[in-house]
Amino acid sequence: MLAATTITNFRTAVTFFIGTFINPFTLILITLSVLYFLYGVSKYFRPNPSDSDKKEARLVMLWGVVGLFAIVAMWGLVQIVQNTFDFDNLGFNKLPDSTLTPPPTQ
């Protein structure tokens, strides 16, 4: 269960947005792109495909790879921006830090 998030400034807003929306959405797109590529592979290796089926399957595989490359490249750019401006996308998935101070001595 995620801890309650308080957005207090721009940094926490961007961190929350990246951790909550961008990263899961990117993983979904990567999964869809790989499945599309595998769909093309399955069309290509079907028994007795015609030349037009093979050509269509090659295009499906090509666009699956192009889509995967584009998604990973954009995810890389998000990570570069995130590291450049020191946004911590794991900050909202961590347990709150508890600073234990020793009791005062008398």
Q: What is the 3-state secondary structure (H, E, C) of the chain?
A: CCCCCCCCCHHHHHHHHHHHHHHHHHHHHHHHHHHHHHHHHHHHCCCCCCHHHHHHHHHHHHHHHHHHHHHHHHHHHHHHHHHHCCCCCCCCCCCCCCCCCCCCCC
Q: How many CA atoms lie less than 13 Å away from 41 in the CB half-sphere?
A: 8
> From CA 32, how far away is CA 38, in angstroms rounded?
10
Mean pLDDT of 68-80: 89
pLDDT in tens, 41-64: 999 999 888 889 999 999 999 999
Higher-confidence position of 99 and 59 = 59
> From CA 39, how far away is CA 88, in angstroms rounded?
36
Mean pLDDT of 68-83: 88
pLDDT category of residue 93 using cuts at 50, 70 and 90: very low
